[in-house]
């Protein structure tokens, strides 16, 4: 367990503040969110039980992520503040009464997920607190095993202690997959770890010893119990090992490796020369078993034995992969040096041995040599028969597969009498004229064209080599100049040779490629400059017809060629006349019968709907305005309620206050523009009784309006006179 470095307010980390901001009751809610993000068990669940659920942070997360109308039950010794659509009650999860109450709430349902985030009251020594947490976790699982559906999930918090592995062993007996993880929201100094168990097996019967703390954990009462010492090794067993031995007495623990005659070998030394002389497999075994390699003085003087090798050989068990590779490379280098020295020594003593051999008679007897040859031939025949059997078996399997796929009928056979594979296209087996005649009796004409050298079996007459680049170029050149148009042509006063023709062909092809490249460039530029065409309703309807089928597309293209298709207007005509002609004197696609009026009308309605649709910003502004109006109205209602509840005011005063409150809530009202009316001599408006209710009338002086009009006419006259004077000059 890590050392606690934060106490009091210093423990309020970012998850504490996030929980306050988002409305979660505890920072532990983020632990469940992170676990669900990794394993996604809440989205698939309909029934959930949260054991030790106070203050309710995990219940909030479950209500948020589980489907609507799910059943969520929370239990704790401390009362839980109510949550919408969540069942909570106060009880002890270790009692039978709690189990009966949960059954009553679930009725016939089974839980898909059981959560447990409980912890005992800590404060004593660490061993006592860790054991209390492990026992509480086992009690929670005992309750979950009675309520959990097959394939369900069990997520619990445990403390890392000596009983941790025993708990995991118990969980693995009931679930398909058990994973231990620590979410980022869990503090680093905390010893808690979360175990996610998935795929509940739901056994028909459960051995009570698997759910009994006295059987699962060790030192329950602080004393050694009977059967807690391993009879083989004499060591004290963990809770899981003890329970496994109790439930399966037929299993016996194997003796641990590294012990010899009951005593542990603390140090195993190995001579460097023995390690070098051993073969590759044996050398690896020796290297893995030893603790130290003893290097003698002669090997230390060798240049291959570096200081790093000497230090590495002093303690093999602490070396990493890189250091072990260095030691193995050192061994291989010394072996190569030894082999090289042996070859040089053998080469020096070779002449004397040769002379001795020439003088001495041969050691092998003639009968022994004959027997060896016979044995070799027999072995070769055995191998050849084995190869034939494998080939025949392969062909039989192929025949069976083809018969299963109904590619051949049962009477057919792929196995000839000699057991060889017969294939129509196996041309690589034909190496002579006779072989060709065996396959095709009429092959004499084909074989006559082949030279005598090829008929000796050196080359296959039916296999043609791949055409090279030079031969392909020469063949294309000959085919090109063999045309009738080039017969008898004299290039520059004489008949051109093949080399000159080839050069001319290359020049022509290069020029053609350049022209094609220029044309492609021009086309690309044209495509880039071409504007985007916006289709009208008639264009959309025509496009719909074009994509229906190839036949319809061909009909529309053919109908586009008529007497009015290429009537280009004269450039001397005025533009307004040309535009008017295009608008009124042009037959549409509807007139030609290519599309119908109903299709055009449909696309017109669609375009109108698009044009009438408000833009996003206008819609957002309207929504904001509506929200503000609703807020103002809500405030006005609250104020109106206070005014009505006040005493000591008359009804008229209250009505005036209510009018002012609702007038402010309604906001500004747009006033109509004033109506301009010519005034009478007396200064009053003419016929004021006919004006609309709520409109204002602005009185205008008739004399003043006449004077303004006269001044404008005078200014226009001055301008005309000035323009005429400038024209005369």
- Residue 218, judged by CB atoms within 10 A of its CB (0-12, 13-18, 19+), counts as buried
CB-facing half-sphere around the CA of 654: CA atoms within 13 A: 13
Q: What is the full DSSP assignment across 276-297? A: HHS-HHHHHHHHHH-SEEE--H
Smallest CA-to-CA distance from 664 within 641, 631, 693, 696 is with: 631
Q: In the numeric block, which tokens belong to residue 707?
A: 């004077």
Q: In the numeric block, which tokens belong to residue 589?
A: 């696609």
Smallest CA-to-CA distance from 139 within 105, 104, 91 is with: 91
- Residue 307, judged by CB atoms within 10 A of its CB (0-12, 13-18, 19+), counts as exposed
175-181 vs 192-200, strand pairing mode: antiparallel
H helix or E strand, kind and range, residue 115:
strand 111-116
In this structure, are residues 420 and 389 in contact, taking their beta carbons and an 8 Å threshold?
A: no
263-264 vs 490-491, strand pairing mode: unpaired
Rounded CA separation 55/60 (Å): 10
In this structure, are residues 313 and 327 in contact, taking their beta carbons and an 8 Å threshold?
A: yes
**Residue 681 appears among annotated catalytic residues:** no
In this structure, are residues 314 and 290 in contact, taking their beta carbons and an 8 Å threshold?
A: no
Q: What is the dihedral of CA 269, 272, 277, 278, to 10 degrees?
A: 30
Q: Which residues of 603-638 are buried (b: 16+ CB within 10 A; e: fewer)?
A: beeeeeeeeeeeeeeeeeeeeeeeeeeeeeeeebee
> For the chain, first and last CA: distance in Å?
109
Catalytic residue among 157, 242, 433, 501: 157
Catalogue the active-site residues.
Answer: 157
């Amino acid at each position: 367990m890590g050392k606690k470095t934060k106490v009091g307010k210093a423990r309020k980390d970012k998850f504490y503040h996030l929980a306050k901001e988002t409305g979660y009751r505890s920072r532990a809610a983020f632990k469940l969110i992170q676990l669900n993000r990794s394993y996604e068990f809440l989205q698939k669940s309909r029934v959930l039980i949260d054991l030790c659920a106070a203050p309710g942070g995990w219940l909030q997360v479950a209500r948020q992520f589980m489907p609507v109308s799910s059943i969520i039950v929370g239990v704790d010794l401390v009362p839980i503040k109510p949550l919408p659509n969540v069942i909570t009650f106060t009880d002890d999860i270790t009692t039978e009464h709690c189990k009966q109450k949960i059954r009553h709430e679930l009725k016939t349902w089974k839980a898909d997920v059981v959560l447990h985030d409980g912890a005992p009251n800590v404060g004593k020594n660490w061993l006592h607190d860790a054991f209390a947490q492990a026992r509480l976790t086992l009690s929670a699982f005992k309750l979950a095993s009675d309520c959990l559906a097959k394939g369900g999930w069990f997520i619990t918090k445990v403390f890392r202690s000596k009983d941790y592995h025993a708990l995991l062993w118990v969980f693995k007996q009931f679930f398909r997959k058990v994973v231990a993880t620590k979410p980022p929201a869990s503090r680093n100094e905390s010893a808690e770890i979360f175990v996610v168990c998935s795929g509940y097996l739901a056994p028909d019967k459960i051995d009570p010893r698997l759910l009994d703390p006295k059987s699962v954990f060790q030192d329950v009462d602080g004393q050694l119990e009977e059967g807690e010492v391993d009879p083989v090794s004499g060591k004290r067993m963990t809770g899981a090992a003890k329970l496994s031995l109790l439930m399966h007495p037929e299993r016996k623990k194997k003796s641990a490796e590294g012990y010899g005659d009951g005593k542990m070998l603390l140090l195993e030394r190995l001579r460097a020369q023995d390690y070098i002389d051993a073969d590759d497999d044996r050398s690896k075994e020796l290297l893995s078993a030893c603790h130290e390699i003893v290097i003698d003085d002669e090997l230390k003087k060798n240049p291959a034995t570096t200081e790093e090798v000497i230090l590495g050989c002093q303690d093999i068990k602490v070396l990493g992969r890189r250091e072990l590779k260095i030691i193995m490379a050192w061994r291989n280098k010394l072996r190569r040096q030894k082999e090289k020295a042996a070859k040089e020594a053998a080469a020096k003593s070779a002449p004397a041995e040769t002379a001795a051999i020439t003088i001495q008679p041969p050691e092998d007897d003639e009968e022994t040599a004959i027997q060896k040859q016979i044995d070799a031939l027999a072995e070769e025949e055995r191998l050849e028969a084995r190869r034939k059997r494998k080939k025949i078996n392969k062909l039989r399997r192929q025949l069976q597969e083809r018969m299963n796929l109904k590619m051949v009928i049962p009477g057919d056979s792929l196995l000839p009498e000699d057991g060889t594979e017969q294939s129509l296209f196996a041309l690589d087996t034909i190496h002579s004229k006779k072989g060709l005649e065996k396959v095709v009796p009429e092959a004499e004409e084909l074989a006559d064209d082949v030279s005598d050298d090829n008929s000796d079996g050196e080359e296959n007459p039916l296999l043609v080599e791949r055409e090279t680049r030079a031969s392909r170029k020469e063949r294309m050149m000959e085919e090109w100049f063999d045309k009738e148009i080039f017969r008898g042509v004299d290039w520059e006063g004489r008949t051109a040779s093949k080399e000159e023709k080839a050069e001319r062909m290359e020049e022509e092809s290069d020029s053609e490629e350049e022209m094609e490249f220029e044309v492609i460039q021009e086309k690309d530029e044209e495509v880039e400059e071409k504007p985007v065409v916006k289709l009208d309703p008639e264009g959309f309807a025509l496009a719909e017809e074009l994509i229906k089928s190839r036949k319809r597309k061909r009909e529309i293209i053919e109908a586009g060629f008529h007497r009015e298709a290429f009537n280009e207007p004269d450039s001397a005509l005025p533009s307004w006349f040309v535009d008017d002609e295009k608008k009124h004197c042009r037959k549409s696609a509807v007139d030609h019968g290519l599309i119908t009026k109903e299709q055009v009308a449909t696309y017109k309605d669609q375009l109108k709907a698009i044009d009438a649709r408000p833009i996003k910003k206008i819609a957002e502004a309207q929504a904001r305005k509506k929200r503000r109006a609703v807020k103002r109205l809500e405030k006005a209602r609250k104020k109106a309620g206070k005014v009505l509840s006040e005493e000591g005011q008359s009804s008229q005063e209250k009505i005036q206050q209510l009018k002012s409150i609702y007038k402010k809530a309604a906001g500004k009202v747009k006033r109509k523009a004033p109506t301009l009316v010519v005034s009478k001599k007396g200064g009053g408006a003419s016929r004021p009784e006919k004006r609309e209710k709520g409109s204002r009338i602005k009185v205008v002086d008739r004399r003043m309006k006449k004077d303004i009009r006269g001044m404008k006419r005078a200014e226009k006259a001055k301008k005309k006179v000035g323009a005429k004077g400038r024209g005369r000059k």
